[in-house]
Amino acid sequence: MEKGKLRAKTGNILKHAVLLILAMYSVLPIIWTLLNSFKDNSQIYVHPFEWPDPFIVENYQHILTTISILPKAFFNSLFYSAGTLIFVLLLGSMVSFYLAKIAAKSTLQTYFLVGMLIPIQAIIIPLFVDIRNMGLNGTKPGLLLVYVVINLSFAIFIITNFMKTSLPDEILEAAVIDGCSLRSIYFRIVLPLSKSAMATAGMFVFLNVWQEFLFAMILVNGTENTTLNLVTLSLRGQYSSDQGMIAAGVVVMIVPTLIIYALFQEQVVKGLTAGAVKG
């Protein structure tokens, strides 16, 4: 009995030690970046891991006052992320409802899964040519359309699997017997019951768009529709860079993602674990 308790206690200690290491692996880079955002180059190069002495708040003042396009780039990134989120969740939930409950035996889901298997780098040139031919190069609708296209398959994959395993057919059948139309079933039953899966998919979609760099650089770089990532990159000089100012720009960029995750983490966890056990 004592050996069993000792073994269990040792297992718990090892488990918590591993979790602590993983937590530090995730949190320490954020803390290090935050501290460096209050330093100048001399402090960063000489004492990169020490407390700022003195605190240099001019890094934030500089990027917020002298870089005039920063506020617009921030709201551009917010527009792309929120717009993509709305379109992807709306279209993705509709397609998922069809694939999970109306055409459950169809092979259509395979075609959406293929979209997840194709590397984004492989479709850069065709996408750019199509966007240019439509006259959307350098515009917000053009980049928004690209973001919706490249994130839709992932959302469909997440929401479809949730609806197949965690959305009872009996509820939908009862709604049909009560005279609900297909539209009413979707808006009044399917969407409310699928909010955890949609929160999970929405979180990943928002983060993907917020931190996306490649397509933004190709389609809107150098225009008023630029994103926060590109502005942060522009803080780097050709021959020298103010590392403290760059760190401040990175902090400005990651704060919204931390806030979004803190607000919706409960729904994200529910969405990730829902359907793990059927029944």
Q: How far is CA 211 from CA 136, 147, 205, 273, in A?
A: 21, 12, 10, 25
Percentage of the chain beyond pLDDT 90 is 20
Dihedral of CA atoms 87, 89, 93, 95 in degrees, nearest 10, equals 40
Long-range CB contacts (within 8 A, 24+) of 76-80: 76/140, 76/225, 76/226, 76/227, 76/228, 77/209, 77/210, 77/227, 77/228, 77/229, 78/256, 79/140, 79/144, 80/140, 80/143, 80/144, 80/147, 80/209, 80/216, 80/227
Query: Are 109 and 160 spatial neighbours (Cβ–Cβ below 8 Å)?
Result: yes
Query: Given a cut of 60, is residue 279 above it in pLDDT?
Result: no
pLDDT, residue 2, reads 63
- Provide the pLDDT confidence category of residue 88 given band limits of 50, 70 and 90: very high
Q: Which contiguous run of DSSP H or E holds residue 163?
A: helix 140-166
Q: What is the average pLDDT score of the chain? A: 85
Give Cα 89 distance to the centre of its chain.
13
pTM of structure: 0.83
Query: Given a cut of 50, is residue 32 above it in pLDDT?
Result: yes
Mean pLDDT in residue range 124-151: 91
pLDDT, residue 242, reads 78
Burial degree of 128 (CB within 10 A; 0-12, 13-18, 19+): middle
Mean pLDDT in residue range 40-52: 84
Query: Are 97 and 186 spatial neighbours (Cβ–Cβ below 8 Å)?
Result: yes
Q: Cβ atoms within 10 A of the Cβ of 32, count?
A: 13
pLDDT, residue 240, reads 66
Mean pLDDT in residue range 102-131: 83
The C-alpha atoms of residue 31 and residue 198 are separated, in whole angstroms, by 30
Handedness of CA 194, 196, 201, 203 (dihedral sign): positive
